[in-house]
Amino acid sequence: MNNDRETEARAWPAVPLEAWRELALRELGGAPLERLVSRTAEGLRVEALHPSEPMALPGRALLLARAGWTISAEYSEPDAATAGAAIADDLRRGAQAVWIRLDEPGPVGLHGVVVRDVEDLNKLLAGVDPTRTPVTLAVGADGSRAKAMLTAVLAARGLAVAELRGLLGCDPLGALARRGSIAGSIEQALSDMSEVAGWARASAPGLRTALVDVGAYHDAGATAADQLAALLATGVAYLRALTAGGASVAEATRQMSFAVAVGRDLFLEIAKLRAARLCWARVVAACGGDASAQRMHLHARGSWRERTAIDPWVGLLRGTGETVAAAIGGADSIATTPMDAALGEPGALGRRLALNTQIILAEESQLGRVADPAGGAGQFESLTDQLARAAWTRFQRIEAAGGMVAALRGGVVQAAVAEAAKAQAQAVASVRVPIVGVSRFAAKDERPTGARAVQRSTGTDVAGERVTPLVRTRLAEPFEALRAASRRERVALVAVGEPAQWRARVEFCRAYFEVGGFEVVETAGTLALAQAVQQFTETGARAAVICSADAMYPTIVPALVPLLREAGATVVLVAGRPRDHVEALMAAGVDLFVQLGGDAPALLGALQQRLEVVP
């Protein structure tokens, strides 16, 4: 039966790309095909039509090396005992690996689990055997101290260092970019990393010791191309440090591990992971590394930047999409970010659902059965190629300017990230990039998830290397601030004219003002201004939004505004912004204009101020 179906499928005639283009042109009614093309933040073209035989990417064999991934979970809870209990619980529920960010010298608990001494580390690892379960300790620039504590814990338990599995992740450049300072100079930190690597080569061959984690760049708003450029430039800096410390290229690459954060754009994020492997392979090949040395160990986590404190339950869908992208992109291990991560430390329910997301996708959906499932699909191959080229160009600029150390010291990388973050913030504010539950389809009622707020120190950083830090922000924060200040003030949508003239704008404004925490009341609509004022009065609102057609505004607004003021309207708004009549309408007393594509947080904030909701 299967053979018959395969024969029938082959019998279909091949349709050339030009035929599809002709069909698309007919459907477009004469509009150019360019109308079907969209672009990413990097300017990459996302085509609608692709050849049936896409390009063969150089080095694609590296994407076929492994199917499936290790189910992991990440922890940054400041208290070591609490984090240790969560680790033990998750391992019982199906986690196969543990990824822990340790706090770094400076403000206590600001960046991860506080481990002051061997006793704290023993509490943290109480429920895990690091010789059986891969454990990542992301230690930043604090490698030597972490190594000493880890060996002491193993000795106390009678475990052999040689049997260690996982990663003692020295990442001094990542720590410097994330927090803006490290103890001592970056040169000292790189030398320390090299010494830890030498110890591991001699005593713990199953332990990786250099971590290139660019998640902080994602959290600060970097584009996918900038994230990959930072990954390559940081990886090259570590490769130089490790080989300078006596390791061969092959030995150095075996001790390196990479970590990225995965966001909302499914296709782009899949391409990002694939491009990371291909670009790193090219770097290692240029350094003389063979095919085995070119293999990258890649960890992926979900996006903290895209989690929300409002309606965090939508984070279940975000986590699923991010995990799917990481799996299809070929991550070696994945940590699904809990839905309530933006609220502080995720609750037990958030952690369990995040873990179950991976288990279902791996064991029930069988998402890991095929290596590089995106291979051969024109959309993915094209994006991977474009993204790899864009990242390589930016990486070359960093190298030409003196490498990643010089780029961080000069603030070049941070400036590029800040510029990208500004563009993202504008896209979110205009709702061109919607956030479900926050800037669109706002939830009226909140249900607790069990997450808890965590107090983190904001004390003085340690003396040493200092640079401009990356600014870690969440996209939903401007809208969340509006909701936090809300007193559920009423906004009345005053519909004037025939329903066809105001219905679309009423529906738009209803959703628009709800995301700012306002209670929206619709009027029935009328052609008579006096009746429209009466309908407004019955709402009890202090803000009136006139909803009608642009052509009617010059006639009705000058007469309607003073009547609404007399009826108790403190603020009068107009739905839309008719270009030729803005000045006249403002002269008639209109305070604000509600428009598609405008800065929603700015307008909603201005309305709150005019209603004296906030000072």
How does DSSP assign 389-450, residue by residue? HHHHHHHHHHHHTT-HHHHHHHTHHHHHHHHHHHHHHHHHHTTSS--BTTTBS--SS----S
Mean pLDDT of 140-152: 95
Segment holding 343, helix H or strand E = none
| Cα–Cα distance for residue pair 573/560, rounded to 1 Å | 11
3-state secondary structure of 245: coil
Which tens digit of pLDDT belongs to each residue from 416-449? Answer: 999 999 999 999 999 999 999 999 988 877 888 9
| Cα–Cα distance for residue pair 34/45, rounded to 1 Å | 10
Query: How many angstroms from the chain centroid is the CA of residue 205?
Result: 34
Q: What is the b/e burial string over 184-211, where b = at least 16 CB atoms within 10 angstroms of the residue's CB?
A: bebeebbbbbbbbbbbbbeebeebbbbb
3-state secondary structure of 200: helix
Cα-Cα-Cα-Cα dihedral of 421, 423, 427, 429, to 10°? 70
- Alpha carbon distances (Å) from 342 to 87, 108, 475, 522, 530: 20, 20, 11, 33, 48
Query: How many angstroms from the chain centroid is the CA of residue 600?
Result: 21
| Cα–Cα distance for residue pair 303/301, rounded to 1 Å | 7
Mean pLDDT of 111-118: 90
Mean pLDDT of 46-75: 80
Give φ, ψ of 186 to 5 degrees: -65, -30
Q: State the amino acid at position 308 in one-letter form.
A: T
Segment holding 57, helix H or strand E = none
- Could you tell me which of 258, 432, 272 has the C-alpha nearest to residue 332? 258
Give the pLDDT of residue 54: 65
Residue 493 vs residue 57, higher pLDDT = 493
3-state secondary structure of 117: coil
Give φ, ψ of 142 to 5 degrees: -110, 40
- Could you tell me which of 301, 280, 299, 292 has the C-alpha nearest to residue 238? 280
Tokens of 87: 């680790």
- Alpha carbon distances (Å) from 139 to 168, 169, 331: 7, 6, 22
3-state secondary structure of 307: coil
Give the pLDDT of residue 526: 95
Mean pLDDT of 54-82: 83
**pLDDT confidence tier of residue 1, bands split at 50, 70 and 90:** very low
Q: Which residues pair with 574 in a beta bridge?
A: 546, 593
Give the pLDDT of residue 418: 97
Give the pLDDT of residue 2: 53
User: Within 13 Å and on the Cβ side, how many CA atoms surround 96?
Assistant: 11
Angle at which helices 266-286 and 315-329 pack, to 10 degrees?
40
Give φ, ψ of 293 to 5 degrees: -70, -25
Give the pLDDT of residue 6: 57
3-state secondary structure of 466: strand
pLDDT exceeds cutoff 50 at 459: no
- Could you tell me which of 487, 428, 427 has the C-alpha nearest to residue 607? 487
Q: Are 547 and 506 in contact (CB under 8 A)?
A: yes
Give the pLDDT of residue 25: 86
Tokens of 515: 């995301």
| Cα–Cα distance for residue pair 597/459, rounded to 1 Å | 40
Give the pLDDT of residue 5: 56
Give the pLDDT of residue 51: 79
Angle subtended at Cα 455 by Cα 454 and Cα 461, rounded to the nearest 5 degrees: 130
- Could you tell me which of 67, 68, 63, 65 has the C-alpha nearest to residue 362? 68
Give the pLDDT of residue 234: 98
**pLDDT confidence tier of residue 64, bands split at 50, 70 and 90:** confident
pLDDT exceeds cutoff 70 at 378: yes
Q: In whole numbers, what is the pLDDT of the chain averaged over residues?
A: 92
Tokens of 160: 């052999």
- In DSSP notation, 97-144 reads EEEEEBP-SSSTTSSSB---SHHHHHHHTTT--TTTS-EEEEEET-HH
Q: How many C-beta neighbours within 10 Å does residue 601 have?
A: 21
Give the pLDDT of residue 160: 95
Q: What is the b/e burial string over 454-477, where b = at least 16 CB atoms within 10 angstroms of the residue's CB?
A: eebeeeebbebbebebbebbbbbb
Which tens digit of pLDDT belongs to each residue from 241-295? Answer: 999 999 999 999 999 999 999 999 999 999 999 999 999 999 999 999 999 999 9
Query: How many angstroms from the chain centroid is the CA of residue 371?
Result: 24
**pLDDT confidence tier of residue 582, bands split at 50, 70 and 90:** very high
Mean pLDDT of 359-388: 91
**pLDDT confidence tier of residue 375, bands split at 50, 70 and 90:** confident
Give the pLDDT of residue 28: 86
Which tens digit of pLDDT belongs to each residue from 152-184? Answer: 999 999 999 999 999 999 999 999 999 999 999
**pLDDT confidence tier of residue 19, bands split at 50, 70 and 90:** confident
Give φ, ψ of 170 to 5 degrees: -75, 125
Q: Are 474 and 421 in contact (CB under 8 A)?
A: no
